């Protein structure tokens, strides 16, 4: 039988946060948002570079190949979060859907070029055009249908 021990540690962080002299939360948040705003061009550039790398890998994949799917996954997972910072949050949703799909394909040791391809085309569409929100939502709905067709389990929201 395993043993367990509990303790309630003192957190230095709690004391530091309470130390007088910190900025009001509203000001700190505004400063953080301003800091992030300057990264927009970098984020767009990175998303395009990752997409190009993913398309290159995709174009040489003829069937199930573990290393190739891993490369695609790495490109997609590195892009998650960047869309939101450049005002294209739907890219993050599409990339998350692609990660779910690739995880599923890797787990099942299968490959479907069309399912991956439609995600890559959606990725390009969502970063390269100023789609209205309804248009972006239609693209995302389409990706959901593709994933559902393959029985891709949706990962938990954190």
Partner 1 sequence: MGLDPNSRARFNLKDATVLLLDATPLGMTILVQIVTGLGAKNLHRCADVESARQAVEANQIDLAIVDSLPPDGEGYDFVSWMRREAGEPNCYTPIIMTTSHTPRSQISRSRDCGANIIIKKPFPPITMLERIIWSSKEDRKFLFSDTYVGPDRRFRNIGPPKGVKGRRREDITATPLPQAGAEAQDASAES
* CB proximity list for 60: less than 8 A, separation 6 or greater: 68
Return the number of the residue (16 or 109) whose C-beta is nearest partner 1.
16
**What b/e string do you get for 64-78 counting C-beta neighbours within 10 Å, with b at 16 or more?**
eeeebbebbbbbbbb
Closer to partner 1 by CB, 8 or 109: give it: 8
Minimal distance, residue 79 CB to partner 1, in Å: 8
CB 85 within 8 A of CB 36: yes
Nearer of residues 55 and 103 to partner 1, judged by Cβ = 103
In the complex, the smallest distance separating the C-beta of residue 91 from partner 1, rounded to whole angstroms, is 10
Tokens representing 156 are 């938990």
By CB under 8 A, the residues from 40 to 99 that bind partner 1 are 42-43, 46, 70, 73-74, 76-78, 80-85, 89, 92, 96, 99
Angle at 17 between CA 12 and CA 22, to 5 degrees: 145
- Distance in Å from the first CA to the final CA of the chain: 32
Determine if 110 is a binding residue for partner 1 (CB under 8 A): no
Binding site for partner 1 (CB under 8 A): 2-14, 16-26, 28-29, 31-36, 38-39, 42-43, 46, 70, 73-74, 76-78, 80-85, 89, 92, 96, 99-100, 103, 106-107, 153, 155-158
């Amino acid at each position: 039988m395993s043993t367990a021990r509990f303790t309630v540690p003192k957190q230095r962080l709690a004391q530091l946060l309470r130390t007088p002299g910190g900025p009001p939360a509203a000001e700190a948040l505004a400063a953080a948002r301003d800091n992030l705003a300057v990264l927009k061009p970098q984020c767009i550039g990175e998303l395009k570079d990752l997409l190009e790398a993913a398309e290159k890998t995709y174009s040489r994949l003829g069937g199930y190949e573990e290393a190739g799917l891993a490369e695609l996954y790495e490109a997609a997972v590195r892009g998650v979060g960047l869309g939101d910072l450049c005002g294209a949050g739907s890219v993050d949703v599409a990339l998350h859907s692609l990660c779910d799909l690739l995880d599923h394909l890797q787990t099942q040791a299968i490959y479907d070029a069309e399912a991956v391809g439609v995600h890559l085309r959606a990725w390009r569409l969502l970063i390269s055009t100023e789609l209205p929100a309804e248009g972006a939502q239609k693209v995302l709905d389409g990706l959901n249908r593709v994933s559902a067709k393959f029985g891709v389990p949706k990962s938990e929201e954190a």
